[in-house]
A and B are shown apart, each in its own frame.
Chain A
C-alpha cells in the first residue's frame, strides 16, 4: 500500500515541506502573520495594508539579504504592535514576534539556518512552556480547579459533549452566564456573589482536567528536553498537545505558532513529522479565517 505521504496528490507538497525546511518555514510564518494581522482588530490599519505585501515578497525571496531585510521589516511591524499594545494584545502577539526575530537571525546564518532555527525553537518552546507551567503551579485559582471548573460551568468547554449526557445543560449554562453578567452589572455594594449550578460529577471532572493539563504540560516539557532520545515521539507529543487544546478552546493562531515551532525543531531524522505540522497549520488558519469549529467541541 502506498504510504499516505507518497500518494500522487500529496507527494509534491510532502516533498517540498520535507526538503525545503527554511522556505517552508518562511511560508508558514507568512501565513500565520497574515492571519494574525487580518483577524485581530487592534492591529493598525497601515500595518494591515503594508504587511501582506511584505509577506508575499518574503515568501518568494531567494537570497539571504532579501530574506533578512524583509524579515526585519515584518518584525519591526510586529514589534511596534507589541510596543503600542503591550498590555492589551494576546500573548501570541509576543510569540510571533519572537519567532520572527529567530527566523531573521537564522536566515542571516545562511547554510546553518536550519540548525539555528531548530535551536531557537527548542529554547522558545521550553522557556514558554516551562514558565507557563510555573504560572499554573503558583496560581491558587488554577490549582483549586476553579479555572477549568468555571469554564465547564460557563459552557466554554465541552458544552456539546456534556449535553449528550445531561440534556438540560445548555439551559443551565445560559442561567450561569446570565447570573454572572448580572453580578458584574450590579452596583457595587448591592450583592457580591451568585451561586452557579454545577453537578458534582462536573466538579470532579474539573479537578481531573486541571491536573491532566498540568501533567501533559510537564510531559511535553520533558519530551522537548529529551528530544535527542525520543526523536519522533517529541513531535507526536507537541501535536497531541495542540489537539487537546484545540478540543477545549478556540486558540487557532496560538496553536499554529506551537506547530511552527514544532516544525522548526525537526531535523533529518524527524522530517517525517513536517507534513503533519504543515497540514495542522493550514487547517487551523483556514478555520480561523472562516470562523469555523467542529460542532462536537461546542
Chain B
C-alpha cells in the first residue's frame, strides 16, 4: 500500500508540483483579498505582504466599558500596562492565569481582529471584576461585572506618514458585545 502510494506520487511528481504551486498562489491571493477587505495584517496569513504595511507591534488593544451611571472606563489590554501586570501578579494562581489568558487573547487580536475571535473574548471579559484603579471608579453595569453589551473591544493602529513625518493612530476594528447577540 505504502509502496504503491509512493510510486503513484513519484509517477505524477511534476504534476503534483504544479498543483502545489497553484495551492501556494491561491493561498497568497486569498490572503491579499482578506488583507484588503478586513483588518488582517499584511504580515500574517501566508500572503507574503510583509514589509508593505505596519506590523502588529504598531497596534494596540483597548477595552471600552460602559458603567451603570453613564460612566465610561478605558482599559489598555495590549501592550500590557504595569497596573494590569501588577493586578495579575497579585490575583493568585487561577486568577492570574485567567488574566494572563486575557492578555494573550488580546495579543492575538492584533493580527486578525474579527468577530469570531472577539465574541468569545468579550464573554470572558464579562466575568472579570475589574479593580477600581483600572476602571477609574466606574460602577459596573451588573453590579460587580460589566455585561457583554457594555463591553467594546477596540484595536488601534499607528501609521507613519512620510510626507508629514508624523505618526497617526486610527481605529481599525471595534466590536461590542451586544452585536454578538449576547
Contacts and interface: CB of A to CB of B under 8 A. Distances in A.
Interface of A: 64-65, 68-69, 82, 86-91, 93-94, 98, 101-102, 104-106, 108-110, 112, 116, 119-120, 123-124, 127-128, 131-132, 134-136, 138-139, 141-142, 144-147, 149-150, 153, 179-181, 183-188, 192-198, 203, 206-207, 213, 249
A135 B111 CA distance: 17
Contacts of A183: 158, 167, 169
A135 B25 contact: no
A131 B29 contact: yes
Contacts of A124: 21, 24
A203 B165 contact: yes
A153 B17 CA distance: 43
Contacts of A110: 10
A141 B167 contact: no
Contacts of B142: none
A106 B52 CA distance: 33
Contact of B49 (A88, A89, A139, A149): A139
Nearest to A191: B169
Contacts of B20: 98, 101-102, 105, 120, 123
Contacts of B164: 195
Nearest to B49: A135
Contacts of A196: 160, 165-167
B81 interface: yes
A193 B54 CA distance: 15
Nearest to B50: A91
A235 B163 CA distance: 37
B166 A194 contact: yes
Interface in B155-182: 156, 158-171
A146 B32 contact: no
29 contacts: A64-B6, A65-B2, A65-B3, A68-B9, A87-B112, A90-B50, A91-B43, A93-B46, A102-B17, A105-B20, A110-B10, A116-B14, A120-B21, A123-B18, A123-B24, A127-B28, A135-B48, A149-B165, A150-B54, A150-B167, A180-B58, A183-B167, A184-B158, A187-B74, A187-B76, A194-B167, A196-B166, A196-B167, A206-B162
Nearest to B40: A87
Contacts of B60: 184-185
Interface residues of B, number: 63
A144 B159 CA distance: 12
A135 B161 contact: no
Nearest to A249: B51
A96 to B, nearest CB: 11
Contact of B13 (A87, A105, A198): A105
A185 B79 contact: yes
Nearest to A206: B162
Given A139-B53, A180-B167, A184-B79, A146 B112 contact: no
B87 interface: no
Nearest to A68: B6
B47 interface: yes
B130 to A, nearest CB: 15
Contact of A132 (B48, B58, B162, B165): B48
A144 B16 CA distance: 40
The 7 A-B pairs with the shortest beta carbon distances in the complex, nearest first, are A150-B160, A94-B46, A109-B13, A135-B49, A108-B9, A123-B21, A87-B112
B125 interface: no
A149 B165 CA distance: 9
A131 B166 contact: no
Nearest to A65: B6
B151 to A, nearest CB: 15
Interface string B41-76: 011111111111110001110101000000000101
B55 to A, nearest CB: 10
